[in-house]
Amino acid sequence: MKILLFFISLISSSLLFSAGEYRCGSIECDAFQADVSDKASLQRGLSTYMNYCYGCHSLKYSRYKRVAEDLLIPLDIYENNLIFDGSKIGELMEISLTKKDAIDWLGAYPPDLTLEARLRRPDWIYTYLRNYYPDSTRPYGVNNKVYQNVNMPHVLEDLETNLSKSEYDQVIYDLTNFMTYVADPSAEQRKRIGTYVLLFLVIFTAFAYLTYREFKKDLK
């Protein structure tokens, strides 16, 4: 009985927590549902990342080659179009910006973002990049509702002004989806293996049961 009560309280508390909305700074997080099996979305996100973020934010726990292979991008196409600093395809995704330069120019060091989607959660990133607003008191003339007084300029401002709202949301969706993938690149493979493991267990259980029945016959 005690065990039953324990499980009921466990389930109800997890339901309670999942029902509560997450906060993203001063506002509520917008819903974000990653789909790391959508390679086209991940490829678009990677392209946005390399063009708009990689100048400041490394992805140093990941390698170009691994990303290219996971996202089904031929290595030569990847090398010619997405590596701008002459790095080799097998190298880690590091950048040349030094801490000192960054602090001189930006007032803060742009952190490595390989694990950002695990640190902050994807919906935080998705909401953050869609909530810059004009603020003349700040050095770049912008502020952010999710990250007050952030030292990062609104690097996607041109995109946001030139695209429709739904197009911009799609760009940020793909970018966040890519960051979700890069924070846990084996997630998809793990799910696939999980399915095989369950299948194996079902088949194994069936055979174990048949063996058990055979043995039982002899015992009678």
Residues forming the site for ligand HEC (CB under 6 A)? 52-53, 55-57, 106, 108, 110-111, 113, 116, 120, 125, 128-129, 150-153, 155-156, 175
Min CB(74)–ligand HEC separation in Å: 25
Min CB(27)–ligand HEC separation in Å: 16
User: Closest CB to ligand HEC among 48 and 73?
Assistant: 48
Overall residue count recorded for the chain in this entry:
220
Distance between CA 67 and CA 183 in Å, rounded?
Answer: 11
User: Closest CB to ligand HEC among 96 and 195?
Assistant: 96
Structure-token pair, residue 130 = 């869609």
Min CB(189)–ligand HEC separation in Å: 25
User: Closest CB to ligand HEC among 68 and 125?
Assistant: 125
Distance between CA 47 and CA 174 in Å, rounded?
Answer: 10
Residue sitting closest to ligand HEC (CB): 53
User: Closest CB to ligand HEC among 18 and 161?
Assistant: 161
Number of Cβ within 10 Å of residue 65's Cβ equals 15
Number of Cβ within 10 Å of residue 177's Cβ equals 24
Min CB(31)–ligand HEC separation in Å: 18
Min CB(94)–ligand HEC separation in Å: 15
Residues 6+ apart with CB under 8 A from 81: none
Residues 6+ apart with CB under 8 A from 91: 63, 64
Q: Are 133 and 142 in contact (CB under 8 A)?
A: yes
User: Closest CB to ligand HEC among 51 and 189?
Assistant: 51
